[in-house]
Structure 1
Amino acid sequence: MRGYFDCFREEISTNGTTLAYKYSMALAGLLFVFYVLMHMYGNLKILWGAEAFNGYAHHLRILGEPILPYEGFLWLFRLLLLAALFVHVGLALPLWSRANKARSTRYVVKRTVRATFASKMMRWGGVALLAFIVFHLLQFTILKFNVGSGQFPDTVVDPTTHETIANPYPLVVSSFQVWWVVLIYALAMFALAMHLRHGVWSAGQTLGLTGTPAKARAWNLAGIAIAAIVSIGFIVPPLAILFGLVGK
């Protein structure tokens, strides 16, 4: 009996903190949903060729000028995403630890719903996505290393405005002409789809937006739709490049 009350007191004392963690994770996660949708849209520009893709990359860098300096908006948004990433990952770890502790406790385990395949994918898929994000940033933003063939200038002259702009197009095309790079991205998009599918639903549930059967169905469908749109939208450009439909 004493063990039961010890577990009960511990559960009450941590419940408020756990709820605050979940709210913060949900809000950070919704910011990432917005970001991946916009990023996916930008990536699809590559299907229209170098001018469209480089022009999109250039306009991201001058967004907010002259109030903001060149790349000012881009760096502010990157810092916001970095802060959200620290919140999302930093709070996921103690929540994961608490969930594991609850499942290992004799009395609390009866009140704990068994983890589904989707929830497990949220954890391990999240770890895989974190590793992929590091690889992705190193490849296209920080080091800009090319695993394909050829060397390319970082900038080109815009044929319309005659100004010097960033030139990410050839690096992206050359990299995705390598099959194992496309495979890495395909696996990452599968993990992202599972993460979004369960994450969108969990965010709605945490924020109290799934209180009725109709709302629950709507959030469930939203999770499925966003996961499908984002994952398919992200993998189309690499596959198009790999099979020679883009960048000939």
Structure 2
Amino acid sequence: MAATSVSRGSAGSAVAPKAKRKAPFPVELYRSSVGKKYVMALTGIGLMGFVFAHMVGNLKMYLGPEEFNEYGEFLRELLVPILPHTVFLWLLRIGLIVAFALHIHAAYSLTRTNQAARTTKYQSRRDYLAANYASRTMRWSGVIVGLFLVWHLFDLSWTGTGYDFVRGLPYENVALSLGRWWVALIYLVANIALGFHLFHGSWSLFQTMGWNNPRFNRARRGFAAGFAALIVVGNCSFPLAVTAGIVST
């Protein structure tokens, strides 16, 4: 029988090992795969809602500079005078950045966990190709969207990117920035990547939340395809409208 070492006090009595202190419940939950899946799903829902609201708000650009600039000022004046000018807008931005960071970390952690747990190969080449395609699409579309988000914030919210940026005049900034063909191309590529990400994310969201009854697969796929198409068409219309001269300074 193997001997078991037991730590003893000065008087020779056995000392029980100290129990590891648990982290707060939300942290412990997030450390589990189930917790990460729910965080990724819930942050995904929040980000989808933001993307939709952002696209709808930007449609005011077609109403002319006065309407669009008033919309931009409305966002900066949210909850004024309860909070100072632009404070609530910055709180929203910080919340979105945190949600985006949690979404990325949860996705990365789950991918690593799945790779480590995969001890057997796929039963067929078709299954492997399908799973690998979905994984690669989500990974690379996520990277493209993340990099584009940083560019987008600098381009139209913070400093501008080489054109005559004027703070407080979003209509003029959009027209001047997207009037450069290579910037319009960046926006088109990024939003097509966003569409792929939204499609796969919307579809897998139902599975993650447990809403995956086979009877609703057709409706799920229709929602995922429709939502992604709506966002891509709406967002891609902005650089195309500037390039076509529909929106100009």
TM-score category of the 2 structures, normalised to the smaller one: 0.7 to 0.9
Aligned to 1:13: none
CA distance in 2, matches of 1:211, 1:152: 50
> Which structure's CA Rg is the greater one?
2
Unaligned 5+ runs, structure 2:
1-30
CA distance in 1, matches of 2:160, 2:179: 16
Are 1:139 and 1:145, in contact at CA under 8 Å, matched by a contact in 2? Answer: yes
Residue 181 (1) aligns with residue 183 (2): yes
Q: How far off is 1:108 after superposition? A: 6.7
Aligned to 1:135: 151
Indicate the larger mover: 228-237 or 136-145.
136-145
Cα deviation, 1:59-81, whole Å, max 9, x if unaligned, reads: 11112222222112211111111
Aligned residues: 216
> Would the alpha carbon gap of residues 21 and 108 (structure 1) be closer, same or farther in structure 2, given more than 3 Å must change?
farther
CA distance in 2, matches of 1:64, 1:187: 35
Q: Percent identity, aligned pairs only?
A: 39
Q: How far off is 1:132 after superposition? A: 0.8
Residue 28 (1) aligns with residue 62 (2): no
Are 1:177 and 1:242, in contact at CA under 8 Å, matched by a contact in 2? Answer: yes
Cα deviation, 1:214-234, whole Å, max 9, x if unaligned, reads: 2x3222211111100001100
Aligned to 2:244: 243
Partner amino acid for 2:98? A
CA distance in 1, matches of 2:139, 2:170: 32
Are 1:196 and 1:227, in contact at CA under 8 Å, matched by a contact in 2? Answer: yes
Q: How does 1:125-204 map to 2 (within 5 A)?
A: 125-147=141-163, 151=164, 153-154=166-167, 166-204=168-206
RMSD, aligned α-carbons: 2.1
Q: How does 1:72-151 map to 2 (within 5 A)?
A: 72-103=87-118, 105=119, 107=120, 114=128, 115-147=131-163, 151=164
TM-score (norm 1): 0.80
Aligned to 1:161: none
> Would the alpha carbon gap of residues 146 and 175 (structure 1) be closer, same or farther in structure 2, given more than 3 Å must change?
same
Residue 225 (1) aligns with residue 226 (2): yes
CA distance in 2, matches of 1:46, 1:180: 21
Unaligned 5+ runs, structure 1:
1-15, 155-165
Are 2:196 and 2:228, in contact at CA under 8 Å, matched by a contact in 1? Answer: yes
CA distance in 2, matches of 1:116, 1:230: 25
Indicate the larger mover: 138-147 or 188-197.
138-147
Cα deviation, 1:10-42, whole Å, max 9, x if unaligned, reads: xxxxxx822211111000001000000011012
